[in-house]
Each structure stands twice: as C-alpha cells, then as structure tokens.
Amino acid sequence: MLSHSLRTRLSLVGVVLTLASVTACSGQQGEDPGSDSKTSESQADERSEAKIVSSIRPDAEGVDLERRLKLRVASGTFETVQVTGPKDLIVKGQFSADKTRWVSSSQLQAASSYRVTSTAVDANGLKNSSESVFATRALTLDEQTYPSFVPVDGQTIGVGMPVIIRFDVPVTDQASIERHLKVVSQPAQAGSFHWISSQEVHWRPQNYWRPGTDVKVNADIGGVSAGNGVFGQKDRAMTFHVGDAMVSKVNMDTDQMRVFRNGKLVRTIPITTGEQPKYTTRSGTKVIVEKFRHKRMNSETIGIDPNSADGYDLDDVEYAMRVTYSGEFIHAAPWSIAQQGNSNVSHGCTGMSPANAEWLYANTNVGDVVEYVGTDKPMTLTNGFGDWNASYDDYRAGSALS
C-alpha cells in the first residue's frame, strides 16, 4: 500500500499531465499563430488596383465657376460617376470611349457645395470607390447678370409679340448665353433669336404666332459665362398664351383702320395720323407695346416745346396704346373727329373717336399687330417691338449662333 504522501505526489503528476494534454489538444485544433499575418496579406492582395484622381482636390473651396470637373482612373475603368450640387441637382458629364475619364458638361453654380461619388474596377474585377466634396466661390453683383422677361409669366398676348429677355449687366459672350436659352411652343413653330444689344435678346417665330399657342421660355443661365468675368445669376422660366389674331391694317392715304380678328374683318375705323411732312407717322409693322386707360401726353417727350405753337400737354388721353418707343400711340382723339377719315393732323399718333378707341382698347392685347402703309418714313427694328420689320433671314442673322 502506498503511503499518503506518495499518493499525493502521483495525483499532482496526473493533474499536470492532464493539463499538458489539454493544452496540446487546444494547440492542434486552434489557428496557426501566423494565420493573422497571412490573412492580412491575402486581403491586401485583393485590393483594387484602380486609382481614381480628380482635377479638383477634395474639400477644395472657392472653386472657379468656369472649372470643369475631370476624373480619371489609372489601372482600371469607371463603372459609375455621380456628381450632385445644390438641391441634389445632378451635374451632367461624359465618359471617354475607354471609360478611363469623365468630364463634366454642366456649369457649376456659384457659392454651392458639390459631392463627387465614383466607382472604378480593375482588370481583376475588383472595385474601388471614391467620395469627395468641394465648394464653388461666391460672386459679387457686378459679376452676375439677371434675366428678366417680357411678356410677364402667365400673360395672354397678341400674335406679334416677340419673346424678350433683358439682362441687367451686359453680355459680351452672347453665344455662351444663347446656348442656354430655349423657346418651346405648342404647337411647335420655327423661330430665331436676335440680339438687339448686349443687354437684350429677342426671339420671334418665322411668321406671326398661331392663335391659341402656349409658349414656355427657359433661361438656364445660372453660372453660365456671359463673358468679361460675368456669369448668369440664376435659371429662370416663364410661360405665356397667345390669344386671337388681332391684326389692324392702317392706310394713311385713305385714313382708315381695318381690324381683323383671326382673318375676318370685324371693324373699320376712321382715323387721323401724323401731319406730313412735319410729323409723319412711320410705315411698317408695329406691335402694341403697352396699354394705358388714361395717359398724360406732353410734347416735350418728342422734342417739341409744350409752350410752342405746336406744343401740347394733355393730362387725360383715353385708351392709349403705345406702338413705338419714340412716342407713337393709338388713342382717343375727340379734338380731331372732324378730320378723322379724311386728313392727317396729329403729331404722329393714330387718333380716333372715343367710342372706337374704347372698343379697340377692350379687344386688344399687348402684342397685337398694327400694320401701317402710306408714308415713306420707315419703321425700324428697335423702335418698340419692331421685330417684324426685317426679313426672317436677316432677323436670324442677328443670332449669336447663326
């Protein structure tokens, strides 16, 4: 029989052998101590070789609006590129044929943040994604030009009304701006832009608008270069509707105005026009520019001293419809009823009886056409809405893109 002390020592040896056995089993069933480094090497081997580079560094600020965002990928090709600006506006762009490059085509907006997200894939099919942001610089008011429209949004106008876009700061790169102007009509009608000046461009259809036409005008010029360090201030749009074709024909030899609605004669009005040769009324195609129920008329505005023998200062001329910037109106002229229909005695305006003037005023829209014949003094393109006093070919030659 073993002694107590010997049994104790043998028990301890068994425990030690048992622990050693457990430790040995754990070592055989566990991972290789070097497996962590092998796994890291394997993951590194699986990294995509496609590297994406941007022409605008990440987090850049004060980026110029004329910059084009250019992305390229080395050792791979692009799968996707998305660039978003203010209000999640998508910046358009194009891939190269081999899809190793992408270049933006949309103009950047001033004082705006942009996010660039892209994905490329290498020859082994491994993907690499990139995301960055940048911000454009703000512009001073002197560096921005704002577009305003005539007619106003939602207005019903006559068939002779041109689309007029005016700019508060001159446009020297007219082609750049015109590329971002668009007039769409329903039904569709051919037409052209024509620059009246560096601050005003018109669009007219080839022929008078068709009655009932709906028109939408877009000036998508926000951030677009207008030349000389000036950019479009913002995008704008408007719509208008074309009413009946009200075309009046004035014969200054017979002193009669014939009014046609949609091609049908609806009224013949005795009139008087400018005394010749001193105040000859212009011949040509005129368009109603604006209407006044009452209008003060002072001869000083057309270069005549109101205190002279030919001068006048009338406080309350009724039913006045402007047809030229130089001062020709159609209006009620109760003082010349005896001459209406037989002689020309005005200072250049077209006068008629109050009753006829009231009727015409009520049936007239801004943009209605008045065609004058009978004198050798011509109407000009820029004296009012004179857009119809040029052939369509000549008018179209005034486009910056012609």
CATH of the domain at 95: 2.60.40.3780
Question: Residue 261, Cα to own-chain centre: how many angstroms?
Answer: 33
Per 3-state DSSP, the chain is made up of helix, strand and coil in percentages (nearest 5) of: 15, 40, 45
- Are residues 316 and 237 both part of a single domain? no
Could you report how far apart the first and last alpha carbons of the chain are, in Å? 122
Q: What is the pLDDT of residues 90-112, one digit of tens each?
A: 999 999 999 999 999 988 989 99
Catalytic pick among 194, 202, 347, 349: 349
CATH number at residue 180: 2.60.40.3710
What is the rounded CA–CA span in Å between residue 314 and residue 321? Answer: 15
Q: Does 270 fall in a domain? A: yes
Structural domain for 208, as ranges:
141-243
- Are residues 227 and 262 both part of a single domain? no
Q: Does 341 fall in a domain? A: yes
Within 10 A of 58 (CB to CB), how many other CB atoms are there?
Answer: 11
Question: Is 25 labeled as catalytic in the residue annotation?
Answer: no
Phi, psi of 280 (to 5 degrees): -60, 130
Catalytic pick among 194, 202, 331, 347: 331
- Are residues 268 and 351 both part of a single domain? yes
Whether the upstream peptide bond of residue 378 has omega within 30° of 0, thus cis, is no
- Are residues 79 and 169 both part of a single domain? no
Q: Does 212 fall in a domain? A: yes
Phi, psi of 9 (to 5 degrees): -65, -40
Q: What is the pLDDT of residues 200-249, one digit of tens each?
A: 999 999 999 999 999 999 999 988 999 999 999 999 999 999 999 999 99
Q: Comparing C-alpha atoms, which of 267, 264, 269 is closest to residue 245?
A: 264
Q: Name residue 237's beta-bridge partners.
A: 218
- Are residues 148 and 91 both part of a single domain? no
Residue 231 makes CB contacts below 8 A (sequence gap 6+) with: 65, 110, 139, 143, 144, 145, 223, 224, 225
Answer for the pair 312, 299: CB distance below 8 angstroms, yes or no. Answer: yes
Phi, psi of 226 (to 5 degrees): -105, 10
Domain ends where: 228, 243, 258?
243
Q: What is the identity of the amino acid at 61?
A: E
- Are residues 159 and 222 both part of a single domain? yes
- Are residues 213 and 195 both part of a single domain? yes
For residue 314, what are its two tokens? 């009338």
- Are residues 65 and 83 both part of a single domain? yes
Domain ends where: 194, 225, 243?
243
pLDDT score recorded for residue 20? 40
Helix (H, G, I), strand (E, B) or coil at 228: coil
Whether the upstream peptide bond of residue 277 has omega within 30° of 0, thus cis, is yes
Which residues of the chain fall short of a pLDDT of 50?
1-45
User: In total, how many domains does the chain have?
Assistant: 3
What is the rounded CA–CA span in Å between residue 234 and residue 111? Answer: 12
Q: Does 383 fall in a domain? A: no
Domain ends where: 203, 222, 243?
243
pLDDT score recorded for residue 302? 87
pLDDT score recorded for residue 35? 41
Q: Does 112 fall in a domain? A: yes
- Are residues 271 and 359 both part of a single domain? yes
Q: Does 395 fall in a domain? A: no
- Are residues 252 and 304 both part of a single domain? yes
pLDDT score recorded for residue 14? 44
pLDDT score recorded for residue 121? 98
CATH number at residue 328: 2.40.440.10
- Are residues 65 and 118 both part of a single domain? yes
Q: Does 259 fall in a domain? A: yes
C-alpha atoms less than 13 angstroms from C-alpha of 222 in its C-beta half-sphere: 17
What is the rounded CA–CA span in Å between residue 316 and residue 296? Answer: 5
Q: What is the identity of the amino acid at 400?
A: A
Question: Is 347 labeled as catalytic in the residue annotation?
Answer: no
**Looking at the whole model, is its pTM more than 0.85?**
no
pLDDT score recorded for residue 32? 43
- Are residues 270 and 285 both part of a single domain? yes
What is the rounded CA–CA span in Å between residue 247 and residue 71? Answer: 57
Q: Does 400 fall in a domain? A: no
